[in-house]
Amino acid sequence: MSTPDSFRAFRIHASGEQHTAGIEQIDLGALNPGEVDIQVAYSSVNYKDGLAGSGKGRILRRSPLVGGIDVAGHVIASRDPRWREGDAVLVTGCGLSETRDGGYSEYARLEADWVVPLPAGLSLRESMVLGTAGFTAALSLHRMLANGQRPEMGAIVVTGATGGVGMLAIDVLTRAGFEAHAITGKPAHFDFLQSLGASQCISRDGLHWGQRPLETPRWAGAIDNVGGGMLEGLTRVIHPYGNIASCGLAGGYELHTTVMPLIIRGVSLLGIASAGTAYDIRRQVWERLANDWKPAHLDRIATREVGLDGLADVFATMMAGESFGRTVVVL
């Protein structure tokens, strides 16, 4: 299978305070070195993509780079014996759109050690409805289970529930046998969250945590996409030996709390760094997402589908706090 002389890619240029981004014609030689060439079928849009593509966050560590931290497609050439022409594969995180060219391109060139075979049970499109968001949600549950979380301990609350990670976390938790509760600043979407499996929905504006280091416990654990004051409040209200998976900072990167929940209730704060996950764990999590943890509502969670031409509008919506669900990018 051959590649065209040139192809379209959404490329980001960032230098100091200067930022430009848009579709360019490039060739494979313009991409970072790698052993596996992929004809991209789908990518997705994550919060980190919105920050990088809009220039609202300093995500790129080198410039220029093709945007997109997720990619799924078919191998067209490989200089590594593990991968053959025609293999269906995916890559999420791993420095894409940060230190290396990413998935917003008709073709990608990637390092063989990052490439994950598409698990049986997932289509390429489904893998990108999941993407980094779904992987992050499932990795959160993977780490919580490894640290002793069990369904019989009680409900897990998900913050930022109308975002991609939040919706997928609710669906994954429900599939894994947990009761899921949802916190969101968009109460108009309560019915939708309940249709995904949330048994209780709470308005962010109606939360009253209290100010003591330890308040009355409300949940057995949490998957937190928000950070800041939300995460601070959660530490006070988790049942003994529950886990909080911290996987986002949409509400702020600072954390002002005490050690009291940790040393009196045995609450664990688990950091979820999906981009740098070890390969064997990455494979395990994707296998579960394709099987017993596969969300039952992927088609509903994928609320938008765009080509490269639609990315700028998606980023603007996301940065305005108006995004809802997952956006799939079709190449």
Domains, the chain, ordered by start: 7-118+298-330 (3.90.180.10), 132-274 (3.40.50.720)
- The string of DSSP letters for 138-177 reads HHHHHHHHHTT--GGG--EEESSTTSHHHHHHHHHHHHTT
- Answer whether 222's CB lies under 8 Å from 158's CB: yes
**Which residue, 139, 181, 81, is CA-closest to 285?**
139
- The string of DSSP letters for 41-82 reads EEEEE-HHHHHHHHTSS---SSSSEE--SEEEEEEEEESSTT
Amino acid letter, residue 227:
G
**Overall size of the chain counted in residues:** 331
- Answer whether 179's CB lies under 8 Å from 199's CB: yes
- The string of DSSP letters for 23-40 reads EEEE-GGGSPP-SEEEEE
DSSP 8-class letter at 252: B
Residues 234-252: tens digit of each pLDDT: 999 999 999 999 999 888 9
List of the chain residues with pLDDT < 70:
1-2
In whole angstroms, what is the distance from residue 182 CA to residue 279 CA?
30
DSSP 8-class letter at 94: T
In whole angstroms, what is the distance from residue 17 CA to residue 301 CA?
35
In whole angstroms, what is the distance from residue 286 CA to residue 73 CA?
16
Residue 2, pLDDT score: 66
**Residue that the structure tokens 């966050």 belong to:** 57
Tokens of 287: 């296998």
How many Cα atoms sit within 13 Å of 84 on the Cβ side?
0
Largest CA distance in the chain: 64
Residue 1, pLDDT score: 63
In whole angstroms, what is the distance from residue 191 CA to residue 167 CA?
12
**Which residue, 221, 309, 226, 237, is CA-closest to 270?**
221
- Answer whether 226's CB lies under 8 Å from 163's CB: no
Q: How far is CA 65 from CA 21, 86, 136, 240, in A?
A: 10, 26, 23, 45
